[in-house]
Structure 1
Amino acid sequence: MYILQKFFKQLVVNKLGIFSFTFFIVIFSSIVMRLIEPETFPGWFDALWYVMTTVTTVGYGDFYPVSVAGRIYAIFIFLIGIGIAGLAIGKLVEALGAHRKRKEEGRLNFKGKGHFVIIGWSEKAKYAISEIIETHPEIDIVLIDQLNVTPITHKNVHYIQGDPSSESVLMQANINDAKSVLVFSDDSIQDSALADGKTLLVVTSVERLNQQIHSTVEIKKEENIKNFRHAKVDEFVLSHETVSRMAVRSAFSRGITEIYTQLLSYKEGENLFEVRKRGEWKTYKDAFEGLLMEGATLISDGSDLGINKKLNEPIREDARLYIICSKEVYESLT
């Protein structure tokens, strides 16, 4: 009796042991019932079906033992099998609950590739995630922050809890295989210099681990851009200056904020897209007129907005042509 008590106590603790013992009981009982009553259970699957329905429910009555030996063993299945199966199901539910808790707390590694990494949770990060999902519904997003529980629940969003400047945390987010990273400034830090310093530390750690990643960072002070350029950051967003400049422009040009909104949001009207150079486009004029005929307006080559001043110049081989058009037109172009 003591040996049995010790065995079951160990079984309760060991999840793998529970599932292994449950599997053994089901298979062994199926074999025993088939051997005891071959007429009642003409096939091995019939015996397995009887055992499974007995240990998980009260049975369906389509198969049942008729001999004394068969019924005695059925009692064993009732007493032992049902208890073990219930324990196994309970452990399975417990394991699923533990996995969900670890996921919500950001303690699970992300193993996908080609994903977006967003560092720092705020309302800005919330809108960024919404915009990314709206633009690319199937892309995976990894959010890194130090909150105890994930602030957002979405099938595309995986949360990692920890210090974003830590190599181990970035590796949890599989930064090596990430496509792009967006680093938002820490709004809890009032000093702009300190906030930019923290952002620089984070993006430097990211660039050290993945030099091919496309990085975009939010900066508080324009004078700090040179430090971020030294860290090989690809894109910069000046949080305070950008909003102020947009507000001033709207004060002088009524309705211009609607244009900004359309260009900045995938949900609103026309949008900004990048297209590849076509073989028949020799000059910028060829590209401009060709795109215009298809419903798109060529506005720049990279950051160069002076397309209209060099329409007769040949297009560079590494040109990055940006157009304004609707989503439908862009899809027809690509």
Structure 2
Amino acid sequence: MVVILRSLVSKVVKMSNVLLFFITFSMILLSTIIIFSIERETFPTLFDALWWVMTTVTTVGYGDFYPVTIAGRIFAMFLYIFGIGILGVVIGKIVDSFATIKRLKEEGKLKYTGAGHIVIFGWSKKAEIAIHEIINSDEKIEIVIIDQLAREPFPHDRVIYIQGDPSVENTMMMANLQNAKAAIVFADDTIDNSVLVDGKSLLFVSAVEHYAPDVYTVVEILREDHIKNFKHVNVDEFVLSHEMISRLLVQSTIQNGITDVISQLLSRSIGDDIYEIEKKENWITYKDAVVALMNDGATLIGAGNKLNVNEVLNEKIPNDVCLRIICSKETLEKIISR
């Protein structure tokens, strides 16, 4: 008998999940009908019979219903042996499935199915800072990191890790890049040669433009003479990291404290920030927008990529331009709500 039970359990464990769930469901349904047919007085409705079967196979056993006839008790003993065993295997498989999903997620082997996310190519300290900034900037947006690390580098509910070569189409498909909002490519700090660093970034961004040309791409570049190569593959924006740092250091010596101001504007976690808003219907000229925003406690600093708003106050605001303002988050919410 022990050998038979052991063989039966072994076969049940090796069953496919679909077949096992079907057998379990069928067993519960059939057991409900059988006990209802055997003891009509004890189980007046099919639901009462189902309730007893479920409390039995889950070993809860409330005792509010129980068979009183010999036939009913014999069937109950059958249910104790086989029903509880099968359901135990099912529960074990469910728990194991959750553990498998968690492991695959940590290893970056699960496909991301969301949309409107930001994809970051390569893990580094700069990527970590960028993730913190994105999380502080938007309470809903999700971030996908693509790298070849063994495990996820930044455990967070809104950060998803995809393991693979960032230049391979299958990896970008796993990250659902075609439905992303933007892609950020950071320069690889582990490489000493700036030519190789920019070459690697160019390879990644070229793959992005080929696979998902509608995704907004931002790339960090080390050498200015490489800009033309990135323009050739239609990169939307690029940042010359060495040049920006050098200029900032120089400006800090000329205008003491300028770095504090710039840091405040760039970081969502410190003071007022730069935001984009759409033109209001009653804002005909830039002067209308400047006055209205000033009354709300905000400062209009630019339209699109232009910063000469104060020189064109009487010009009409194009309907499709994005206005850039400096204000607090509370002020922004007040402006948008109107």
Q: TM-score, with normalisation over the residues of structure 2? A: 0.93
Tell me which amino acid in the other structure corresponds to 2:51: W
Residue in 1 aligned with 2:294?
292
Tell me which amino acid in the other structure corresponds to 1:216: V
Alignment of 1:76-115 (within 5 A): 76-115=78-117
Tell me which amino acid in the other structure corresponds to 2:258: I
Taking only the aligned residue pairs, the percentage that are identical comes to 51
| Of 188, 195, 198, the match for 2:197 | 195
Tell me which amino acid in the other structure corresponds to 1:173: A
For 1:215 and 1:58, the matched residues in 2 are separated by 56
For 2:284 and 2:32, the matched residues in 1 are separated by 76
Preserved CA contact (<8 Å) 1:11 1:17: no
SS in 1 for 2:274: strand
For 2:186 and 2:14, the matched residues in 1 are separated by 44
The offset of 1:126, in angstroms, is 1.2
| Of 249, 258, 278, the match for 2:251 | 249
For 2:206 and 2:71, the matched residues in 1 are separated by 74
Q: What residue ranges of structure 2 are gaps of 5+ in the alignment?
A: none
TM-superposition CA deviations, 1:259-304 (whole Å, max 9, x none)? 1111000111111112222343333333222322221111122222
| Of 162, 170, 173, the match for 2:175 | 173
Alignment of 1:122-137 (within 5 A): 122-137=124-139
For 1:47 and 1:165, the matched residues in 2 are separated by 59
For 2:32 and 2:182, the matched residues in 1 are separated by 54
The offset of 1:6, in angstroms, is 6.2
Preserved CA contact (<8 Å) 2:12 2:86: no
CA RMSD of aligned residues (A): 1.9
Tell me which amino acid in the other structure corresponds to 1:84: I
For 1:64 and 1:317, the matched residues in 2 are separated by 74
For 2:148 and 2:328, the matched residues in 1 are separated by 38
The offset of 1:319, in angstroms, is 3.0
Preserved CA contact (<8 Å) 1:284 1:315: yes
The offset of 1:58, in angstroms, is 4.7
For 1:247 and 1:49, the matched residues in 2 are separated by 74
For 2:178 and 2:60, the matched residues in 1 are separated by 52
TM-superposition CA deviations, 1:80-99 (whole Å, max 9, x none)? 11111111111111111111
Residue in 1 aligned with 2:144?
142
For 2:247 and 2:317, the matched residues in 1 are separated by 32
Preserved CA contact (<8 Å) 1:33 1:47: yes
Residue in 2 aligned with 1:54?
56
For 2:10 and 2:204, the matched residues in 1 are separated by 48
Residue in 1 aligned with 2:13?
12
Q: TM-score, with normalisation over the residues of structure 1? A: 0.94
* Compared CA separation, residues 307 and 58, structure 1 to 2 (3 A): closer
Tell me which amino acid in the other structure corresponds to 2:14: V
Residue in 2 aligned with 1:40?
42
Residue in 1 aligned with 2:303?
301
Alignment of 1:260-271 (within 5 A): 260-271=262-273
| Of 205, 213, 216, the match for 2:215 | 213
Tell me which amino acid in the other structure corresponds to 2:10: K
Moved more, 52-61 or 102-111: 52-61
Preserved CA contact (<8 Å) 1:183 1:217: yes
Residue in 2 aligned with 1:278?
280
Tell me which amino acid in the other structure corresponds to 2:264: Q
Residue in 2 aligned with 1:29?
31
Tell me which amino acid in the other structure corresponds to 1:33: I
Tell me which amino acid in the other structure corresponds to 2:303: D
For 2:280 and 2:184, the matched residues in 1 are separated by 31
The offset of 1:5, in angstroms, is 6.8
Q: How many residues align?
A: 334
For 1:169 and 1:147, the matched residues in 2 are separated by 13
For 2:111 and 2:263, the matched residues in 1 are separated by 36
For 2:11 and 2:76, the matched residues in 1 are separated by 26
Q: What residue ranges of structure 1 are gaps of 5+ in the alignment?
A: none
Residue in 1 aligned with 2:241?
239
- Asked if residue 155 in structure 1 is aligned to residue 157 in structure 2, the reply is yes
